[in-house]
Amino acid sequence: MTETILLLSLVLLPFPAAAVCWLCARYGKAGMRGVPAAAAAGLELILALAAALYGGDAALRIPGLCGLGLTFALDGFRRLYAAVAAFLWLVALLLSRQYFARDTARERARFDLFSLLTLGAVMGLFLSDDLGTAFVFFELLSFTSYAWVAHTETDAALRAADTYLAVAVIGGLTALMGLFLLQHALGTLELSALYAAARACPDRGTLYAAGGCLLFGFGAKAGIWPLHIWLPKAHPAAPAPASALLSGALTKCGVFGVLAVSCGIFRADARWGALLLALGVVTMAFGALLALLSVDLKRTLACSSVSQIGFIVVGVGLMCLLGPENGLAARGTVLHMVNHSLFKLTLFLTAGAVYMNAHALDLNDVRGFGRNKPFLHAVFLCGALGIGGVPGFSGYISKTLLHEAIVEYAHISGSRLITAAEWLFLAAGGLTLAYMAKLYAALFLERHPARQAEFDGMRGYVSAPSAAALAAAALPIPVLGLLPHGTMDALADAAMPFLAGGEAARVAYFSFENLKGAGVSLLIGAAVYFLIVRRLLMRDGRYVDRLSGRFDLEDRLYRPVLLRVLPAVLGAIAALFGENRILAPVVRRLLCRGGTEMQALSDAGAQIPEEIPYGDIRERFAYKVGALLDRGYAVRRGVQPAHRLSTALVRLTDQLRSSTQAIVRNLSFSLLMTCVGFTLLLVYLVLIYA
């Protein structure tokens, strides 16, 4: 009974707390803004720790809600990530008091409201016990976290928010199609029943189709390539506390879905594992490359999140490929999830401290800010060395487990492709060290040519609550890294039932073989930093962004296709069948049998010159086609060509162009994505239920 009450409280508490905190921030004293929100997150952390340390497994079903009802459960993995999420929120909200000190009461109230609503949605997702419940909270957190990205209401923030919402809506609708397929094929969406139902299902094609839809939906939230496009834009646009939560918690919501599908439906499925391994390797390497090229502090950290999600997805793929022998991969996956949450909490909050004081994020504008600031120096080093996989920090432990899993599968399979994946894994680790070295050198070693004296004089750059938040975020990284067997192994073991992880031998983390892998990444990182960053990515002592814009899939692929091709089709439909009724006269000219109207026009001398002054090539083409049809009709009827079709087609072309431009100007990208998603949903329903 106690466990059930804890479970229900963890899910429900943030929602009424959000309303209370909004009222307090909106109408309370200015000095108390943010305190109720941090207190609510602290209470949530106390409940999560109580469930983790003293509670047992529990299950809860709320029938009737959202049609099929909502189901929740507490087990090792869920307790672990409920505690991690609550910790992230408390620390981020502690620093947010200083970060939003200059914001209005309305802006502060809005941030607190949507922060706690998002916390409730995240808790509901991590504690869900079926994919239907997970989907409900998955969609809820997409809309509540939208307010984070759009918080500053600048043009860049609103555009990034449009991208974020578009990816969320399309991903959610695609995942919904997968749920329909899965329910139809298996008859259940309960996580504990998926494996047995999938094994008994003879239609593997339907399962792969459903899995593909779910991977698209959850992978978009996780930031898996090529659906990562929202991360490099949303993180720099959002306030730093929100960026820490977007990277540390919301990306893990997508990973949670990928894990649920992989461990339930496709456990020990080699094809599914190979797909995830390939996507993970590409995401890992591509994100690291983008981070290396970036010259914006928060954008570098955002691209780094893409890369680290790739490491996690590699682990999930190896779990499927290794089957019952997946103990190393499963432990490395869950520990790197936890580690990445801690790394990005530390690093984004450090970036927040920089922005609060320097009011800039470009590396050329903030260089030298961290000089003579030993506390900020130590905090940043914990995050940087941790994410770089340096021995003695927690990232080394999880990366060692993942590397061991790759080596194990390479030995079992004998595949050269897996050996190549291992080297890409080590190279991505080296790139991680290189771009973190770039950030470290810019912030703490170099000097600003104009503002260095100003930076050196900023002694009170963080308040006491902000300093406590930074210390709380950074301290676990070396502690977990130095005591892996008593801490990290215990955390991983608790999560194994959910991940269906097999047994694993005790790993000698600091053996020569494991240290050698970290050493290879260190050497690669040093070479990349000194040979590429210092020589190719700097000019006249300034950091330059040479190529990263060319890898922007949204601007170079998705938006051009979806905002030109799709509006053209919709514009054509609107022009042909809309109020202008251009189609009617065209059809009359083509299908007219008596020729009376054409003869009358000819007799009246309604002639149009052969050459018209239209400069647009499309209009000229339309005129020529119409004129050719006119001549054919005139010859057949024995009359003079009146060129009526040519003018109709020219007007039709102009209407198509005008309709397209109107759609592009007035229809937001996110709503367009919504239409695409609903169209795909309708097509699916027609095909399935016709």
The string of pLDDT tens digits covering residues 345-363 is 999 999 999 998 888 888 9
Asked if pLDDT for residue 210 goes beyond 80, the answer is: yes
Residue 71 has a pLDDT of 86
Mean pLDDT over 7-21 rounds to 88
Average pLDDT, the chain: 80
Cα gap 190→183, rounded to integer Å: 10
The stretch 241-252 carries a mean pLDDT of 90
Lowest mean pLDDT, pick from 15-29, 117-131, 358-372: 15-29
Q: Give the residue among 175, 174, 211 at the shortest CA–CA distance from 194.
A: 211
Statement: residue 109 has pLDDT above 90: no
CB burial readout 224-263, b (16+ within 10 A) else e? bbebbbbbbbbbbbbbbbbbbbbbbbbbbbbbbbbbbbbb
Pairing of the two strands 58-62 and 538-539:
unpaired
d(CA 225, CA 595): 60
Percent of the chain with pLDDT over 70: 79
Q: Report whether pLDDT(521) > 50.
A: yes
In angstroms, rounded to a whole number, what is the distance separating the alpha carbons of residues 43 and 37?
Answer: 10
CA distances from 471 to 375, 445, 465, 604, 625 (A): 9, 22, 10, 89, 73
Highest mean pLDDT among 167-171, 375-379, 446-450, 553-557: 375-379
pLDDT for position 37: 87
* C-alpha distances in Å from residue 532, one per residue of 281, 388, 544: 22, 18, 12
Residues 381 and 535: their CA atoms lie apart, in Å, by: 24
pLDDT of residue 646: 54
Q: Across the strands, what pairs with 58?
A: 74
Whole-angstrom distance, CA of residue 432 vs CA of residue 438? 10
pLDDT tier, 386 (very low <50, low <70, confident <90, very high otherwise): very high
pLDDT tens string 225-242: 888 888 888 888 888 899
pLDDT, one tens digit per residue, over 175-207 is 888 888 888 888 888 888 888 888 888 888 888
